[in-house]
A and B are shown apart, each in its own frame.
Chain A
Amino acid sequence: EAQVTQNPRYLITVTGKKLTVTCSQNMNHEYMSWYRQDPGLGLRQIYYSMNVEVTDKGDVPEGYKVSRKEKRNFPLILESPSPNQTSLYFCASSLLTGPFGPGQGPWGTEAFFGQGTRLTVV
């Protein structure tokens, strides 16, 4: 079954204790991305990756790190979590869109989302 898997689903941690949220996809997608969802703010992109070893900042990258050593995995790292990082986090993947990468396309591909990780930093 095609899916994006995030772990853990729920996490409560203390300020300053490093944590990693894992994300794995089995669809051979080039593009992967992390979002945080907060009430009244919708989904905001944290980081994205267009392929292995290629990562870029989204709209709210401060306090987060990512790595893309393998195509299927895109972990989100919080080196020193703070309470303002309490949120619902989603990982997503998709085929690469546009004239990048092999085959010059496809255009406008939709993203597949994981189930979410609810993080609480106290």
Chain B
Amino acid sequence: AQSVAQPEDQVNVAEGNPLTVKCTYSVSGNPYLFWYVQYPNRGLQFLLKYITGDNLVKGSYGFEAEFNKSQTSFHLKKPSALVSDSALYFCAVRDISPLVNRDDKIIFGKGTRLHILP
């Protein structure tokens, strides 16, 4: 069964340091992978996605993520953290079952709270 794991409930990083938020996945077919960010009292905002092609994908607000097929990972990264990056981050996978099943689910990890310390 498809699943997404975010092994860290919380990540603390000093402002200006690089940050990584981890995500691993399990799907039956081709993985379509996403990162979303949630600020307090807001809905989820799309950050970036991996569909095919380059393993390093770039997204909004200077974030990027690296797709690693052998490790089934899709870690979110940023070279230099800002205090304003503090938020809840969700990794998600969109799993398309074979055509005959006509299934299309978006599955989210449990989220990682990122704290950027001034």
Is chain B found bound to chain A in the same assembly? Answer: yes
The residue from A41, A43, A48, A112 contacting B104, defined by CB atoms under 8 A apart:
A48
In the assembled complex, the CB of B99 is this many whole angstroms from the nearest CB of chain A, namely 6
> A96 CB to closest chain B CB, in angstroms?
7
CB < 8 Å neighbour of A107 from B9, B51, B99, B107: B51
CA distance A50 to B106 in the complex (A): 12
The 7 closest A-B pairs by CB, nearest first: A108-B32, A42-B110, A113-B43, A108-B51, A43-B108, A98-B96, A113-B44
Which of A4, A98, A110 contacts B34 (CB under 8 A)?
A110
B49 at the interface (CB under 8 A from A): yes
State A31–B32 Cα separation when bound (angstroms).
16
B43 and A97 within 8 A (CB): no
The total of Cβ contacts below 8 Å across the A-B interface reads 73
Q: Interface on A for B, CB 8 Å cutoff?
A: 4, 31, 33, 35, 40-45, 48, 50, 56, 58, 90, 92, 94, 96-100, 107-116
* Interface residue total, chain B, C-beta cutoff 8 A: 29
B41: A residues at CB distance < 8 A: 116
Task: Decide if A42 touches B111 in the complex (CB within 8 Å).
Answer: yes
Not counting A92-B44, A98-B99, A108-B50, a sample of 6 additional A-B residue pairs whose C-beta atoms are within 8 angstroms of each other reads A42-B90, A43-B90, A97-B94, A107-B32, A108-B49, A116-B43
The chain B residue sitting closest to A6, CB to CB, is B43
Question: Closest approach, in angstroms, between the C-beta of A17 and any C-beta of chain B?
Answer: 25
Known interface pairs A42-B111, A97-B96, A99-B99; A111-B32 also in contact (CB < 8 Å): no
